[in-house]
Amino acid sequence: NEDYYMLTLKSSYIKHKTNIYSFFKKAAAITGAVVITACSFSACTPFGGSASRYNNADEQYNAADNESFNAFTDSLFRELASSDSLSLHALLENPCEYGIDDYDITLGRIDIDNIDDTSDITDYITKLNAFDKASLSKSQQITYDLLNKYLYTTLNYSDLYLLNTDLTPTIGIQIQLPLLFSEYTFMEKKDVEEYIQLLSDVDGYFNNLLEFEALRSVRGYTLSDDLLDEVISSCKSIADSAGDAEGMFIGTFNSRVDDLIFLTDDEKNVYKKQNEDAVINHVIPGYNALITTLASFKGTNQYSGGICNYPDGARYFEGLLESCLGWSKSIDEYNDLLDSYIRSYSIVMQKLLRKDPSLNSQFGTFSFGIDKPDQIIEDLKKKITDDYPALNDVNYNINYVSEALNDYASPAMYFMPQIDNLDINSIYINSAGTDSSDLYPTLAHEGYPGHLYQTQYFASTSPSLIRNVIKPGGYIEGWASYVEVHSYEYAGDNTLLNSLVQCNYALILCLYAKGDIGVNYYGWTEAQLSSFLTDYGFSSAEAAHEMYTAFIANPANYCKYVLGFLGFEELKKQAQKDLGDNFSLKEFHRYILETGPVHIDILFDYLKNWENRLVVSSRAA
């Protein structure tokens, strides 16, 4: 049916990118500054409030409360940042300059004996509620709302911890850990020594995760056997290659150490030997333990299909969306919203094809005309200037995922810089998971005006430290997906074809989110998912199976991207309605970027204040 002519359905269309930080989890969950999704760390300068071009000169607040609120949020930051050393190093090159000088060199542990203790959360809620929000500065009020929403959501769903696992296909910690180690920065001798200590903790860390998985197994919550096989396969690939002289653990480390001018040749040789010993005696045994123990859990899963089929699974799914999106909508309302966008995109595509039937034949040969990563990013930097606020040039590196991870890692990912070392921005491309035709929008997502641009822009506003840790995934991935969709406007001169391909891509995103909700909340079977897809021209049983498996493996992951994207679209509609001719797309984007990562409700709550300031600013000009 030409009216529903769309790109071939591929499971890689929505990039599996998620942050591995689990707020207030009893594990010091390894976080790294990697956006493989979601809610990741963003760079900033050490202290101070947000610096917006729309700040009111006569803003009034209680100075004492301002200072004490900063002290409270900075204390919370220090506690969270130091929960494990890998997360700490991802955030800060010099922790002591931020009041963190006493920390254990560890990847963190789940406190199995006190896993259901929520006293830390209730304690922070009590401290937060002691502040009078009205007496705080505007930037502090946003931080207050962010913390309030996050803490209460975490508390409300804290009893469902056994439904969560860090060992999953594609975005599991077993895959992310090698990538995090590969981006561990060496600025001084201490960094090299702590890196080796952390490598030596891999087996202990994995054994602790397996203790947690044993608890899940007793309840029948273990991943299904086919998903366990995928996790085990990724572990085998890493274990088999970890000891290679040219591999990601040994070869990469050796080449990096050779470039360190602050080490003598003798010191380099000593560290190389210590690193190899850590890999052989701790990393490989750790992965082998995962392989053996996870295999022993096969057959223990008692619940098939989506997470809603598990005890309290539907509530867990609601909690996942509440945590990452923070949008006052029910799941039914999200589902209806997706339906409305699917209809809208379909109608636009139908009109375009009727207006120019030749688009049908041109569709399959659509191209951005650029396939070199550096050229794409430079092209994007030029083309976004009309719609996005200016940003000073920043350094970045393009890297490629190790061959051992090609079959398991995300198509692409962005590693965020340290708070006190903003110039190290790394984008990784999985050559096995990203076609050259997908590279332009992928780098819009990861680079400009996506993750890299958003991270650096928010850093330029000097946000409070805690804003580098509490970052809702719906904002982070929603923004990156929003700009990825709009990057299709930068392809060539055929605006009709660009619009057709753009609507097609956005529609496919919505189909994925519909499938995520259908499987994990409404309990769709694979046959029901396949039937739904068939209605849109997708009859591939293999594609339906891949999608069904992906939805089960990572509930709400697709919704985080897509509903976050639609949140920005809905916010834009509201601003356009309110402002009329005064609406400016560039200033709208500035509002989002200067507000920084928050829940969607918060963006709507502060929209009217921004609109009023924009109108006043426009009249003054």
Structure tokens at 201: 């903790």
Whether the full predicted model's pTM is greater than 0.85, yes or no, is: yes
Predicted confidence (pLDDT) at residue 4 exceeds the cutoff of 70: no
3-state secondary structure of 140: helix
**In angstroms, rounded to a whole number, what is the distance separating the alpha carbons of residues 223 and 552?**
9
- pLDDT score, position 567: 99
Least confident of 15-29, 92-106, 253-267: 15-29
Q: Would 8 be classed as within a structural domain?
A: no
Quick: pLDDT tens for 548-593.
999 999 999 999 999 999 999 999 999 999 999 999 999 999 999 9
Phi-psi label, residue 32: left if phi above 0, alpha if psi -120 to 50, beta otherwise: left
Q: Which residue has 């070199």 as its token pair?
A: 372
**In angstroms, rounded to a whole number, what is the distance separating the alpha carbons of residues 615 and 583?**
9
Quick: pLDDT tens for 164-177.
999 999 889 999 99
Structure tokens at 50: 């947000």
- pLDDT score, position 93: 94
H helices, E strands: number in the chain: 25, 4
Q: Count how many Cα atoms sit within 13 Å of the Cα of residue 473 in the half-sphere of its side chain.
A: 25
Task: Determine the residue type at 497.
Answer: L
Predicted confidence (pLDDT) at residue 34 exceeds the cutoff of 80: no
- pLDDT score, position 621: 65
Quick: pLDDT tens for 115-163.
999 999 999 999 999 999 999 999 999 999 999 999 999 999 999 999 9
Q: Residue 537: pLDDT band by 50, 70, 90 thresholds?
A: confident
Domain that holds residue 175: 167-222+225-300
Q: Count how many Cα atoms sit within 13 Å of the Cα of residue 129 in the half-sphere of its side chain.
A: 9
Phi, psi of 434 (to 5 degrees): -130, 115
Which whole number is the average pLDDT over 477-488? 98
**Residue 472: cis peptide before it, omega within 30 degrees of 0:** no
Q: Would 291 be classed as within a structural domain?
A: yes
Those residues with Cβ within 8 angstroms of residue 87's Cβ, 6 or more apart along the chain or in another chain = 21, 28, 29, 30, 31, 32, 81, 108
Q: Would 384 be classed as within a structural domain?
A: no
Quick: pLDDT tens for 440-449.
999 999 999 9
Which whole number is the average pLDDT over 253-268? 97
Q: Would 606 be classed as within a structural domain?
A: no
Q: Would 187 be classed as within a structural domain?
A: yes
Quick: pLDDT tens for 499-530.
999 999 999 999 999 999 999 999 999 999 99
Buried b (16+ CB within 10 A) or exposed e, 107-118: bbbbeeeeeeeb
Percentage of residues in the chain having pLDDT higher than 70: 90
Q: Would 258 be classed as within a structural domain?
A: yes
What DSSP assignment string belongs to 348-388? HHHHHHHH-TTHHHHHTT---S---HHHHHHHHHHHTTTTS
* Average pLDDT, rounded, for the chain: 89
Q: Residue 539: pLDDT band by 50, 70, 90 thresholds?
A: confident
Those residues with Cβ within 8 angstroms of residue 257's Cβ, 6 or more apart along the chain or in another chain = 186, 192, 263, 268, 271, 272, 275
Quick: pLDDT tens for 372-405.
999 999 999 999 999 999 999 999 999 998 887 7
- pLDDT score, position 525: 98
Beta carbons within 10 angstroms of residue 49's beta carbon: 21
- pLDDT score, position 619: 76
Strand partners of residue 34: 415
- How many folded domains does the chain comprise? 1
**In angstroms, rounded to a whole number, what is the distance separating the alpha carbons of residues 353 and 347?**
10
Predicted confidence (pLDDT) at residue 55 exceeds the cutoff of 70: no
Phi, psi of 400 (to 5 degrees): -120, 140
H helix intervals, 522-556: 526-534, 541-553
Q: Would 216 be classed as within a structural domain?
A: yes
**In angstroms, rounded to a whole number, what is the distance separating the alpha carbons of residues 375 and 176?**
27
- pLDDT score, position 573: 99
Q: Would 424 be classed as within a structural domain?
A: no
Q: Count how many Cα atoms sit within 13 Å of the Cα of residue 565 in the half-sphere of its side chain.
A: 27
**In angstroms, rounded to a whole number, what is the distance separating the alpha carbons of residues 73 and 131?**
12
- pLDDT score, position 32: 33
Single out the residue of 257, 238, 258, 236 nearest to residue 248, CA to CA: 238
Which whole number is the average pLDDT over 463-473? 97
Strand partners of residue 399: 428
